[in-house]
């Protein structure tokens, strides 16, 4: 998350949306969620309508981690099964 936090200021939301249209949907869902959690919510907003329209299932934030206690994020259609924080 730290790397994403550092790169977020350089992300062009329009170019990001264009790029995500060729990426697997779970990647887009996770990226939007992560952007929101590293104080880059304006960048994430560009992805929200795309995810809401095209994501047909909820996916885990961290595929290899247990999901039994995962919280659900309905905006990004994720099962949040890991804590996200950027290093200071």
Q: What is the pLDDT of residues 30-58, one digit of tens each?
A: 999 999 988 888 999 999 999 999 999 99
Ranges of each domain in the chain? 2-80
Give the model confidence (pLDDT) of 16-34 as tens digits. Answer: 999 998 999 999 999 999 9
**Geometric angle at alpha carbon 16, from 12 and 19, rounded to 5°:** 140
Location of structure tokens 């099964």: 81
Q: What is the pTM of this model?
A: 0.89
């Amino acid at each position: 998350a730290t790397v994403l936090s550092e790169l977020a200021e350089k992300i062009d939301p329009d170019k990001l949306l264009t790029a995500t249209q060729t990426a697997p949907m779970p990647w887009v869902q996770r990226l939007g969620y992560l952007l929101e959690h590293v104080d880059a919510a304006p960048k994430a907003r560009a992805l929200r309508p795309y995810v809401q329209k095209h994501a047909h299932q909820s996916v885990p934030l961290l595929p290899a981690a247990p999901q039994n206690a995962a919280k659900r994020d309905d905006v990004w259609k994720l099962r949040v099964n890991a804590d996200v924080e950027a290093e200071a």
